[in-house]
Amino acid sequence: MGAAVVALDEEVFTGSNVENASYGLSMCAERVAIFSAIAAGASKVERIAICCPKADPNRSNQLMPCGACRQVMAEFMSADADVTIDGVGTFKLSVLLPEPFRFQTK
C-alpha cells in the first residue's frame, strides 16, 4: 500500500506500509506519509491519496483507511480535507470519521 500527502505549502510527502512480525508494530502508509510531513516541519496536511494495488478492487472495504489512520488524519487535516482512495473515490475526512477523538485541555 502507498500514500501521498500534500502539505499546506504544496510539498508532497509519500509513505508505504511498514510491516512487522508483531502486527501491532506495523505502520500503515497513510500514517507514514503524514508523519513524514510533520517530521519535515509541516503543520497541517491539506489532502491525501491512498493506493492499495494488491487488494481486491471489488471489495472497497479492503481499500479504506483503518481507524488509527483516520484518527491521525483528523489530528493533522481539516474535517473538509479530501481523502482520495484509488478505485473507490474521494471523500471528505468528516465523512470517513464524523466524530474524531479530541483531547481538550482546561
Annotated catalytic sites, by residue? 30
Residue 12 and residue 5 in contact, taking contact as beta carbons nearer than 8 Å: yes
Residue position matching grid coordinates 496536511? 45
CA–CA separation, 98 and 9 (whole Å): 26
Nearest to 34 by CA among 12, 63, 1, 67: 12
